[in-house]
Amino acid sequence: MIPSDIAQRYRVEDGKNFRLKDINPGDTGGLDKDGAKDLLKDGVKSLSQWQEKLYADDRWSLLLIFQAMDAAGKDGAIEHVMSGVNPQGCMVTSFKQPSAQELDHDFLWRTTKALPERGRIGIFNRSYYEEVLVVRVHPKILDGQKLPKGLVTDRIWQERYESIRDFERHMARNGTAILKFFLHVSKEEQLQRFLDRIEEPGKRWKFSMGDVAERKLWDRYQESYEDAVRATAAPHAPWYVVPADKKWFTRLVVARAIVDTLERLNPQFPTVTGPALDELMKAREALVAEKKSQR
């Protein structure tokens, strides 16, 4: 089993003293790659078992938010960690550039529509955090968001953090457990992954020249991520700042964090008692009698 404390090392509940530089993107938590495959297999199995109970219990929902720089491994982490989950109980939503309809609403509207139902796991591949990350790095984007000019002030980022905190507090109070993952990749590793994408024909479709342009803004993005974690980390909506230079380790941390949360929620299969149990036993008797008659 994945070590029980491995995810806690990267969990941020109070961002007041958080510094991104304190997390080493190449950290492996003392583990090695040789045993990672079996550890992840055990983690995926445990996640699958808990997800079945979450679905049957139908009280809690789980929201997993993935944010990262390009090539940090979000898609791979989602694919591998969630590989054993029943598709009926899980939905992945990827958020790209807002549509015209989405720009006619507040910045939380499009993600609110995709929140998971009770008993389900919702995965956001990018999210409303783009509004304090990409938009902050490229503030000209605000010009296209149709906001009244008087509302775009020097406090807009602080106001958006406040809206996000209120939104996540509201979700938590209504039964949605929230986990936010920032896959923290180093600039050197991102460079190598970009080169790999270009050199391997099967990966070239993942690369765009825009990736190079965004890379030049690395420091501004790192500052924006650090500020976002500081401003929005909370016990009910923690951030996991996960080392992402070693994909196998990233997946172990993500899997452990999800299992930890489900263990804490402790959903259980509904218990059938009273008249409902009596009816069930009558149905059993009828089915047993039918089976005997077929011999």
Domain holding 252: CATH number?
3.40.50.300
How far is Cα 243 from Cα 27, in angstroms, rounded to an integer? 6
Q: Are the C-beta atoms of residues 62 and 176 closer than 8 Å to each other?
A: yes
pLDDT confidence bin for 113, thresholds 50/70/90: very high
The residues pairing with 183 across neighbouring beta strands, listed in sequence order, are: 68, 242
Give the other-Cβ count within 10 Å of 295's Cβ.
4
Q: Are the C-beta atoms of residues 265 and 57 closer than 8 Å to each other?
A: no
Give me the domain span that covers residue 239.
Answer: 8-293
pLDDT over 70 for what percent of the chain? 100
* Assigned domain for 282 exists: yes
For residue 145, what are the CA distances in angstroms to 100, 151, 220, 293? 9, 11, 21, 70
* Assigned domain for 2 exists: no
* Assigned domain for 105 exists: yes
Q: How many domains does the chain have?
A: 1
Which residues fall within 8 angstroms of residue 66, CB to CB, at 6 or more apart?
Answer: 74, 77, 78, 123, 124, 125, 126, 127, 181, 183
Looking at residue 294, what is its pLDDT?
85
* Assigned domain for 3 exists: no
Q: Are the C-beta atoms of residues 256 and 3 closer than 8 Å to each other?
A: yes
> Is 209 a residue whose pLDDT tops 90?
no
Kindly report whether the global pTM for this prediction surpasses the value 0.85: yes
